[in-house]
Amino acid sequence: IRTFIRTLLAYDPDNPDKPPGVLGRLNAYYGCVEAQGRGSLHCHMLIWLEGGLNPNEIRDRIMGGADEDFTNRLIRYLDDTIATDIPVLHERDRTEPSAPHPCHLRHVRRLPDEEDALYNSRLKKDLSRLAYRTQLHIHSHTCYKYWKGGNSPKTCRFELDEGNIREKTIVDTSTGELTLRQQNGLVNPYNPTLLSALRCNMDIKFIGSGTSAKAILYYITDYITKSQLKAHVAFSALDVAMKRIGAYRPEESSIVDRGKQLLNRCAYAMLSHQELSAQQVASFLMDYGDYYTSHRFKPLQWTHFERFIDDQYHSSECYTSS
């Protein structure tokens, strides 16, 4: 992750003259590490680009053709950043029987004294294989999971279709809506540089409306703040703690001591029942951390903060049921 931030995103606050990264000049980032069901680790990261406008500002500058130069520059940036095609390559080069899966190979390195034409040819061949194996969508039964059958239209729920092709990005100046080009209707949008370096499937989308921006921010915030302890594990641990502490006997301890004992037993039971994968343990022992951030920050105890604000500036409207 640190290599990705340093190399591809080119974030270096101590070197303001450093050329920008793949997506532009980076101002800040925050990423949260999560373990999936099988235990492997992955990162959900939010980045802030220098000069980035919020969706409402973008819409206002596009609507009515008020700023044609800005609209054209935005389209050039999006078309240059997001690819929706597979570089032309012979079918035999894509599916050589003896060739390993391109995701299992390292990215193409330039050889000493190699000519530009030869290097670019190898790079294009590698990118074509990657896009063909990772970005090309193949319909399956999950695509039609919500199909009602009968005469209802049978469409892919991922909105990928052979006929969904747009040769160029379309701008609706009356609504400020941008519809990006789609050169191949079955290709998930990707960035060629990121695909060549990371060698994994991706799905890049342009967030061009306030509604979409709110949805993606909620999604990322939910991942950053959610507990790693599953609900069923927590309730199981609570049940174990209650059984171990036994029935309450007033003659042996006060209600305060009883409460402390229960809290301690619950905490110990939850820790003993929490599942940790080998990857999580190794990451902890190597001191890799469970988040990545460009800035230092202080944790905010939200419930205490909210109670303080309510004590100082109580507002009955906040507690009025609608």
73-77, 218-222, 241-245: segment of lowest average pLDDT: 241-245
Cα gap 264→241, rounded to integer Å: 9
Which domain, by its residues, includes 68?
A: 54-225
267 in a domain, yes or no? yes
Q: Which of 192, 207, 225 is the last residue of a domain?
A: 225
Backbone torsion region of residue 176, taken as left when φ is above 0, otherwise alpha when ψ lies between -120 and 50, otherwise beta:
left
87 in a domain, yes or no? yes
Between CA 78 and CA 79, with CA 165 as vertex, the angle to 5 degrees is 10
Q: Which of 164, 197, 225 is the last residue of a domain?
A: 225
Letter string b/e over residues 83-117, b meaning 16 or more CB atoms within 10 A of that residue's CB = bbbbbebeeeebeeeeeeebeeeeeeeeeeeeeee
Q: Are 87 and 101 part of one and the same domain?
A: yes
Q: Are 99 and 208 part of one and the same domain?
A: yes
Q: Are 78 and 218 part of one and the same domain?
A: yes
Q: Are 171 and 246 part of one and the same domain?
A: no
Phi, psi (degrees; rounded to nearest 5) at 215: -65, -45
The answer, yes or no, to whether residue 320 has pLDDT greater than 70, is no
The reported pLDDT for the residue numbered 184 is 93
141 in a domain, yes or no? yes
Q: Angle at which helices 231-245 and 255-273 pack, to 10 degrees?
A: 130
pLDDT band at 225 (very low <50, low <70, confident <90, very high): low
The reported pLDDT for the residue numbered 271 is 63
Cα gap 292→32, rounded to integer Å: 7
The reported pLDDT for the residue numbered 91 is 58
pTM: 0.71
The answer, yes or no, to whether residue 95 has pLDDT greater than 60, is no
DSSP-H helix ranges across 182-301: 192-198, 210-225, 231-245, 255-273, 278-285
122 in a domain, yes or no? yes
Cα gap 212→235, rounded to integer Å: 35
How many separate domains does the chain show?
2
Cα gap 134→190, rounded to integer Å: 10
Cα gap 182→186, rounded to integer Å: 9
Letter string b/e over residues 175-209, b meaning 16 or more CB atoms within 10 A of that residue's CB = ebebebbbebbbbbbbbbbbbbbbbeeeebebebb
Q: Residue 315: is it exposed, middle or buried by C-beta count within 10 angstroms (0-12/13-18/19+)?
A: exposed
- Per residue in 6-45, pLDDT (tens digit) is 999 999 888 888 899 998 899 999 888 887 767 788 888 8
Q: How many CA atoms lie within 13 A of 242 on its CB side?
A: 6
User: DSSP secondary-structure letter at 166?
Assistant: B
- Per residue in 160-190, pLDDT (tens digit) is 888 889 989 988 888 878 888 999 999 999 9
Better-scored residue on pLDDT, 50 or 251: 50
- Per residue in 258-272, pLDDT (tens digit) is 777 777 777 766 666
The reported pLDDT for the residue numbered 322 is 47
Q: Are 233 and 221 part of one and the same domain?
A: no
The reported pLDDT for the residue numbered 196 is 92
Q: Are 139 and 67 part of one and the same domain?
A: yes
* Cβ atoms 13, 207 nearer than 8 A: no
